Amino acid sequence: MIESMDKKELEATLCLNYCPYYKPFKDEGLACNGFTIVERLMARGRDIPFGSPAGDVSSDTKKALVRDICNACPFYIRDCDFTAGKEDTQPCGGFSFLGHLLDAKIITLDDMHNINYTLFK
Q: Which run of H or E residues covers position 79?
A: helix 76-79
Residue 22: the pLDDT is 86
pLDDT tens per residue, range 10-20: 988 898 888 88
> Residue 48 pairs with which residues in a beta bridge?
2
**Do the beta carbons of residue 17 and residue 50 sit within 8 Å?**
yes
**Do the beta carbons of residue 26 and residue 68 sit within 8 Å?**
no
Q: Which of 13, 39, 11 is nearest to 115 (CA)?
A: 39
Q: Where are the domains of the chain?
A: 7-120
Neighbours of 75 (CB within 10 A): 19
**Do the beta carbons of residue 80 and residue 92 sit within 8 Å?**
yes
pLDDT tens per residue, range 34-59: 899 999 999 888 899 988 766 789 99
Residue 55: the pLDDT is 72
DSSP-based three-state secondary structure for 87: coil
Q: Which of 40, 35, 19, 45 is nearest to 113 (CA)?
A: 40
| Mean pLDDT in residue range 63-92 | 86
| Mean pLDDT in residue range 67-90 | 84
DSSP-based three-state secondary structure for 107: coil
Quote the pTM value. Answer: 0.84
Residue 120: the pLDDT is 47
Q: Give the residue, 29 or 68, on which the prediction is more confident.
A: 68
